[in-house]
Amino acid sequence: MKLLVCGGAGFIGSNFVRQRLAQHGDEVVVLDKLTYAGRRENLDGLGVELVEAGIEDAAAVRGALEGVDAVVNFAAETHVDRSIAEPDAFVQTHAVGTWVLLEAVREAGVRYVQVSTDEVYGSIEEGSFTEESPLQPSSPYSATKAGADLLVTSYFHTYGTEAVICRGSNNYGPYQYPEKLIPLMVLNALHGDHLPVYGDGLQVRNWIYVDDFAAGIGHALAHGRPGEVYNVGGPDETTNIEVVQRVIGLTGADESQIEYVTDRPGHDRRYSLGSEKVRALGWEPQVRFEEGLERTVDWYRENTAWWKPIRSGDYLEYYARHYGKTLG
Ligand code: NAD
Ligand code: DAU
């Protein structure tokens, strides 16, 4: 199968591409704007064509779609804190970008998978979200992702576009940009820097190893029914403070590095996804949190050349602005 993977130079997209090449023998074209989070290095050695363009660029998208059997769209702005500080790019990419992409997909008549998030459902105190749960997003990130999902569904209903939506829970693993909780804590722990925990640290996230999410997306691509949503949640739920304590245990850092900092505005307390529908397609998560976190810490330890250039320049400026701290 020939796939167009939008946002394929980012964290989950590049892991998905690696899995498709190794396990399915697909031919892959990546279209990516290469924002701060998208990196050519994430595709090193894979031999895939990279089109450097935004999904909002209709001409580039049309060109990249030639001869393609299906599109998987990962392209997004993905950090909640950045969406609170500067929502502009979130609206542009999720609303305009998804619309441009859908128009091109409609014209080409190919299958389409929208990669989405559990955050569109908002926060849940008890139990788990199903695909029927109402959309109650809380941040500019999740609100614009929810808007994109609704647009995708409208193309199925209105034009018969063969579109499927996959909503994942919190991913972790290799190649994740160190603005997100786990890679940030791992790198700060290894450098003896502070470990900034928002609020009381008792917020709960439903962790999924990135290869498991990639496989879930693959199942939806192959077997999902057009117009349907599939939740792809991880096997473990953990409070943030427990994640940080596990990272300390795996890196040999010190508890005194933990620093409770001002909470994120509108912070969702708990996410939890029920994934029975995608399980019925034959998917099961393979990696439990303990094992996946150990693998992830090992990967960051061993791949200094990947993160060294990131932990400089713009990243340090972002860090100082957001956390009011400089890194060692
Ligand atoms: P990421 O930030 O690592 O990567 C995003 C990629 O999209 C980057 O390569 C970036 O350059 C590219 N991009 C951004 N704007 C673009 C545009 N306008 N046109 C083309 N490319 C553009 O993100 P990620 O964590 O890999 O997330 C990928 C997708 O999965 C997103 O849609 C996200 O909402 C969704 N998701 C993420 C998680 C998670 O925990 N990280 C969980 C569930 C769903
Ligand atoms: O649930 C899926 C979502 O998971 C994805 O759609 C998003 O793209 C992805 O960024 C992630 O969103 P979160 O906001 O849950 O992830 P983040 O890594 O930013 O934060 C995880 C939790 O850790 C959250 O409760 C906030 C907290 N946190 C985060 C950072 C960066 C801290 O306590 N300290 C921090 O420094």
pLDDT computed for residue 328 by the predictor: 76
- Which one-letter amino acid corresponds to residue 209? Y
Q: How far, in Å, CA of 2 to CA of 157, rounded? A: 26
pTM of the model: 0.99
Q: Which ligand is nearest to the CA of 232?
A: 1
Helices 289-302 and 240-251: crossing angle, nearest 10°?
50
Residue indicated by tokens 């993160």:
307
**Ligand 1 centre from 10 Cα, in Å?**
6
How many residues appear in the chain? 328
- Which one-letter amino acid corresponds to residue 83? S
Give the mean pLDDT per block of 10 residues along the chain (328 residues): 98 99 98 98 98 98 98 99 98 98 98 98 98 98 98 98 98 98 98 98 98 98 98 98 98 98 98 98 98 98 97 94 92
Please list the active-site residues.
Answer: 118-119, 141
Apex 214 CA angle, 213 and 216, nearest 5:
60
The residue to mutate among 16, 43, 74, 93, having the most atoms of ligand 1 within 8 angstroms of its beta carbon, is: 74
Q: How far, in Å, CA of 293 to CA of 272, rounded? A: 19
Which residue's CA is the closest to the ligand 2 atom numbered 35?
181
| 145 CB-near residues (< 8 Å, 6+ apart) | 76, 94, 116, 117, 119, 120, 137
Percent of the chain's residues with pLDDT above 90: 99
| Rounded (10°) CA dihedral 259, 210, 131, 202 | -20
Strand (E) or helix (H) holding 174: none
Q: How far, in Å, CA of 21 to CA of 211, rounded? A: 13
Around ligand 1, the residues with Cβ closer than 6 Å are: 6-7, 9-13, 32-35, 37-38, 54-56, 74-78, 93, 97, 115, 117, 145, 168, 170-171, 177
HSE value, Cβ hemisphere, 13 Å, CA-based, for 172: 34
Q: Please give the number of the atom of ligand 2 that sits closest to the Cα of 267.
A: 25
The residue to mutate among 4, 5, 6, 11, having the most atoms of ligand 1 within 8 angstroms of its beta carbon, is: 11
CB of 257 within 8 A of CB of 327?
no
